[in-house]
Homo-oligomer: A and B are copies of this chain.
Amino acid sequence: MSLADSHSRQDGPVRGRPRSEAVERSIIEGVIGLLEDGVPLSELSIERIARTAGVGKATIYRRWNGKEELFVDVVRAAEPPDPELPGTSVRDDLVTLVEQLRRRGLMSRSSVLLHNVIAQMKHSPKIWEAYHAIVVEPRRRKQHEILRRGQENGELRTDIDVDVMNDIVFGPMLVRAVMRPDADLPEGLAERMVDAVLEGLRPVSSPTP
C-alpha cells in the first residue's frame, strides 16, 4: 500500500521536485527506447537504464524504489491517461470509466510495445504486484466510490454488494478487452454495455417474476 500512497497522482511522478520532471521523462523514455529495441524486461537493469538516460544510478533510486516501480510508470506513460469524470450522473461516470477500459484494450492491441510489456509484466510477480498496488487498486477504489455514490443518490440499487456490482459493470468490457483479443471493441460499446447493465437484459414490457 505504501507504493500506492506514493503514487496517487495521474499525470506525473510526485517524488522529486517539479524541475526534475524532465529528468524523469528522459529516464522513462530511455526505458521505452530499450524495450522498443527488443530488450526484454528481465534484462533491463538499473545500471543499463541509467547509462541509456545518461544519469547516475542514484538519480533513478531517488525517484523510484526499484525496477518494479519504474516499470509501472513506464506502462502508465504508454497507456492512455485516466479520464476526467463528467460528474453529471453516476451513469455518465461509469460510461467514462468503461470507455477508458475499451481504449486501453484497443491500445494494447495496436501497440506492440504495450502488449509485450504487459505480457512480460504478468510473468514477474514483483512487477505485477507493484502494478496492482499503484494502478489497479486505486482504479478499483475510484470505481467503488462512484458506485457507492449511486447507491446513495438513488441511481443504483442498494441490495447488491458494491464489490459484486463492480464486476457486473466492468466485467463485460474487461473480459472483452483483455481475455478475448479477437473480439470487436467498436465505438459506442461502453455506453451500450453500461446502459444494458443498468436497465437489465429483460425486455421492458416483460413481467418480472
Contacts and interface: CB of A to CB of B under 8 A. Distances in A.
B189 A154 contact: no
Secondary structure of the A contact surface, majority rule: helix
A192 interface: yes
A193 interface: yes
Interface residues of A, number: 38
A41 to B, nearest CB: 16
Which of A169, A170, A174, A184 is the most central at the interface, judged by chain B CB atoms within 10 Å of its CB?
Answer: A174
Contact of A193 (B154, B168, B189, B192): B168
B157 A167 contact: no
Contact of A155 (B157, B171, B206): B206
A26 B117 CA distance: 41
Contact of A203 (B157, B164, B193, B204): B157
Contacts of A158: 203
Q: Which one of A154, A156, A183, A202 has the highest number of Cβ atoms from chain B below 10 Å of its Cβ?
A: A202
A157 B201 contact: yes
A174 B179 contact: yes
A40 interface: no
Contacts of A155: 202-203, 206
Interface of A: 154-158, 160, 163-165, 167-176, 178-180, 183-184, 189, 192-193, 196-204, 206, 208
28 contacts: A154-B206, A157-B201, A157-B202, A157-B203, A157-B204, A160-B196, A160-B201, A163-B183, A163-B184, A164-B193, A164-B196, A165-B196, A165-B201, A167-B176, A167-B183, A167-B193, A168-B172, A170-B175, A171-B171, A171-B173, A171-B174, A171-B176, A172-B172, A175-B175, A197-B201, A198-B202, A199-B200, A199-B202
